[in-house]
Chain A
């Protein structure tokens, strides 16, 4: 390029609009994520092909090919823990969707201004509560002897349940705490959907029919569906990563009653210190998550592409 041309380019008003300009803005964030996100993931991938038990360093960390993966995929505990996670998802999701929708409808209904604002604001409290603290409170609430859950049951004439020491009780207890924490999330998403219904359409429909169900089904439902999809997908990812609350409340027990997948992998990695196997499990979990987030993008972010 001639000198005249470069100086002309320099004088042009669109200085700093070159092809590489976005790179300068993006590079710090992307490099950081590469370093702290991708590099460890690759490290985990490599580890997953090794025998890697740090309590037995003398054996070294030899490459063993797909041995860890074969072990994991033939490990019935891994599968039952995945199955339990699915069971947990199937247990919490319908409750959260139904309760969340009911709350959203209550909040959408005209009138009761002050009480409604109060209810709307308090929905944020469970979502912000430290997950580990939810577990601590759960242990107090579901204590067999002095827990308030059994006090509530006794009002209805049911005998005390040993929540945290029985298999079904512990599972029910973590379901209840999860429902408490995440129902507001569903409610807020559905509320956002309901407020998207154009006012005049909703009013016209209210004049046409007095049936709330017909209104919900024919007018509001189309606006609720994207939110429902988001809830279903996000909650499935959240359940796969659920750790803090359950770990504090039950440590996965009694037995394996609440041994969700993240709890199980944590135990293999940090109690048994079999990091090769744990890494293989983590990589499989990662693949599952990637499929879920692909789905999320396909269904909810079509406009981005």
Chain B
């Protein structure tokens, strides 16, 4: 009897974990299928006739679709740039000893921790001066400040795990470092590069503060537009929750793909 009660508690505990982690998500998705009347009913209703009206509305709204396209452009371009710039740097960090290497590590870790507001202020002023305010480019560049460290960090780890014998053999064949990087490290490190790219994408897709400060009408990203619905007297809750669902769903799928690496991505490798 003792064993089975222990098992029961274990099962109950795990079920509680699933409910805890999924509830707000579930509540958002279910609200996105509710009519305004159902959302405003007090106490809230759990069972209702679902409607696709909210989704029809946001997909017809060029503001929302435009914002999603903006988010896609910014997240994709900045992720690509982060990989192109970060992978070679990771190679150098994984394979060479040089002066200032630990300072470089320190710099990367600090970047993970610095509040975006620290950079948002000067970049805003610089963007006004250079006419870059409200362009995709300024967001792509500023997102690199947190993407590059992530890419360098994860890819360096991956590169370090590639056996040195392979490199030795290639050296004896007369390959130079650039060839070794291209022919050995890039293909063998591809899984790590993919994981780091997915992380970069998630972080920039989710970002709000820079996007809020550095964009006006033209390049508002999805989180900014979702937030902008939050004004006025009667909030269009269904539309807001539908937009939220559309924003969160793709990154959640991405995150599930890299779920095994989530800790590494969020701690910059401090714990495996």
Contact = CB atoms under 8 A, between A and B. Distances in A.
A137 interface: yes
B66 to A, nearest CB: 17
Contacts of B111: 33, 37
B169 to A, nearest CB: 11
A301 B21 contact: no
A292 B267 contact: no
Contact of B13 (A106, A118, A180, A230): A106
Interface in B114-130: 114-126
A297 B109 contact: yes
B17 A122 contact: yes
A89 interface: no
Contacts of B96: 21-22
Interface in A109-144: 109, 111-112, 115-116, 118-141
Contact of A121 (B117, B208, B256, B263): B256
B259 interface: yes
Interface in B179-224: 181, 202, 205-209, 213, 222-223
A262 B117 contact: yes
Contact of A40 (B122, B227, B267): B122
A211 interface: no
B244 A133 contact: yes
A122 B116 contact: no
Interface string B252-272: 101110010011001100111
Given A36-B144, A147-B44, A266 B241 contact: no
B105 A301 contact: yes
Contact of B255 (A128, A270, A297): A128
Contact of A289 (B31, B110, B124): B110
Interface in B5-45: 7, 10-11, 13-15, 17-18, 20-22, 24-25, 27-28, 31, 39-44
Contact of B178 (A16, A33, A147): A16
B25 A32 contact: no
A140 to B, nearest CB: 6
A136 B226 contact: yes
B270 A47 contact: no
Nearest to B17: A119
B27 A189 contact: no
Contacts of B53: none
17 contacts: A14-B171, A25-B177, A35-B141, A41-B119, A43-B122, A107-B17, A123-B17, A129-B25, A131-B223, A132-B226, A136-B28, A136-B241, A147-B44, A266-B120, A266-B213, A269-B117, A279-B121
Given A119-B14, A140-B240, 20 more contacts: A25-B88, A30-B89, A36-B123, A40-B119, A118-B14, A127-B262, A128-B252, A129-B248, A141-B24, A146-B40, A185-B266, A237-B113, A247-B208, A265-B117, A282-B115, A285-B115, A289-B113, A289-B115, A297-B105, A300-B270
Interface of A: 13-17, 21-26, 28-30, 32-33, 35-37, 40-41, 43-44, 47, 54, 102-103, 106-107, 109, 111-112, 115-116, 118-141, 145-148, 150-151, 154, 177, 180, 183-185, 188-189, 192-193, 226-227, 230, 234, 237-238, 240-241, 243-244, 247-248, 261-262, 265-266, 269-270, 275, 278-279, 282-283, 285-286, 289-290, 292-294, 296-297, 300-301, 304-305
